[in-house]
Structure formats: structure tokens, C-alpha cells
A = this chain, B = another copy of it.
Amino acid sequence: MTDVSGLSIGILGGTGDQGKGLARRFALAGLSVVIGSRNAERAQEVAGSIGAGATGAANADVAGGCDIVIVAVPYEGHKALLESLTAELSGKIVVDCVNPLGFDKQGAYALPVEEGSAAQQAAAVLPDSRVVAAFHHVSAVVLMDPAVEKVDLDVLVLGDDREATDTVRALADVIPGVRGIYGGRLRNAHQVEALTANIISVNRRYKAHAGLRVTDI
């Protein structure tokens, strides 16, 4: 298994719920975590609120300074942010966990993405980066809940670069309870992103914070 203990993890959009939750769990696991935001002060503030040694910086500094960069921004700003960071992200493992969803009175639904998925959009914008898709179905509420010691779900990790997906699987594994599981090539990322709409439907119906486990492995 790949050793990720010496790697620094940057989280673009790390002041949002999901980014903050992931930052918290990685920092608690002893990894070096830098939260990114458009506003460096805001990033430092959120990092301080998380504790466990997390720090904060402007998105561009996070992208340039970290070994693995997680993209946890709203879909609306996804493409433009990545276009502004192509140089900083060159050669790096970029982990896209963005879910392009719309919401109306009937709940959540998948938005069409010209490139097929947010992850494929990232790969198109960042041809020199190693784009991996992961962490789509992780509940931010669960990640932030101090009462949850073990997070009861698996993380599907998708990508076309075996070494990169192995590294991100190992990164998922550092969260207690979580298994990082290879889930296919980037061309099959759309349905994993879109499935978040179904998980939201499950959560509404069952008053839950649902996750997925893969059986027989």
C-alpha cells in the first residue's frame, strides 16, 4: 500500500462544508493539511477552527505548495478556478470531488457537464495534472461530527493513472472506517458524481447521512 504519511494535502475550497470535513479528518490522521480559499485570512481562520495542525492559505499558494490537491469547490466556480491554476497544478495529483447537481422542489438532480463529468472537465483543463475523482459521497456532517470515530462508508476512487489512484485510495484509507476502492476510469466518473443526488434522496426519505459500502471485497 502506498505511504501517504509524508505528503502534504491541499484543499481548494477548503472553507466549504465538504472540504472542511475532509481537512479535519486528514489533519486528525496526522497529515499536513493546508486549507485553501480565495481569501487567505478566511482560510487561516477556518484552519484554526479545525485545529489538529491544519493551516490556511490562498488557493494559488495551496495549489503550488502541496503534494496532493483536493478540489472541493462548488461546481459553478470549478472550471474557472482550475483554469487559473494550471501552472501550479502541473504534474500534481488533483483529486476532484465536485458533484454537479441542481436542486428544485423535487430534490436534487444531476446537471449535464459538457466534458461528461466534473472530473473529466478537470482533466481537460489540466492536461499536465494527474486527475483522480474521489470522495463524492462523503457526508460533510459525518466528517465534522466529533462523536463519529469511524466513518462507515467506502470511497470510490476513479482515474486513468494507476499510481495516482493507488495514492488516493491510500489517502482515503487514513480516515478511520473508510476504505478507498478503485471504481473505474475517469470516463465513468459522471455516474459517481450524479449518484450524490440519489444519496440526497435516501437521506431525505430515511432521515440519514447515508454512505455506500462495496460488498464482496
**Among A39-47, A54-62, A202-210, which stretch is in contact with chain B?**
A202-210
Interface membership of chain A positions 183-211, coded 1 if the CB is closer than 8 angstroms to chain B and 0 otherwise: 11101101110110110111001101111
Q: Is the CB of B197 within 8 A of A194?
A: no
Q: Is the CB of B214 within 8 A of A202?
A: yes
List A105-121 residues whose CB lies under 8 Å from chain B. 106-110
Contact flag A182-B194 (CB < 8 Å), given A187-B109, A215-B211: no
A173 within 8 A of B: no
Q: Is the CB of A208 within 8 A of B217?
A: yes
Interchain CA distance A194-B183 in the complex, whole Å: 12
In chain B, what residue has the closest Cβ to A106? B185
Interchain CA distance A195-B158 in the complex, whole Å: 12
Report the copy number of this chain in the oligomer. 2
In chain B, what residue has the closest Cβ to A151? B215
List A125-177 residues whose CB lies under 8 Å from chain B. 152-153, 156, 158
In chain B, what residue has the closest Cβ to A192? B198
Q: Is the CB of B202 within 8 A of A183?
A: yes
Contact flag A188-B182 (CB < 8 Å), given A212-B212, A212-B213: no
In chain B, what residue has the closest Cβ to A116? B110
CB < 8 Å neighbour of A213 from B106, B110, B215: B215
Q: Is the CB of B106 within 8 A of A190?
A: no
Q: Is the CB of B184 within 8 A of A197?
A: yes
A216 within 8 A of B: yes
Distance (Å) between the CB of A34 and the closest chain B CB? 30
A181 within 8 A of B: yes
Residues of A at the B interface (CB closer than 8 Å) are: 106-110, 152-153, 156, 158, 181-185, 187-188, 190-192, 194-195, 197-198, 200-202, 205-206, 208-217
20 residue pairs from A and B, CB less than 8 Å apart: A107-B184, A108-B188, A109-B187, A110-B188, A110-B190, A110-B191, A152-B216, A153-B215, A182-B201, A182-B205, A183-B202, A184-B201, A185-B201, A194-B194, A195-B195, A208-B217, A210-B217, A211-B215, A212-B213, A213-B214
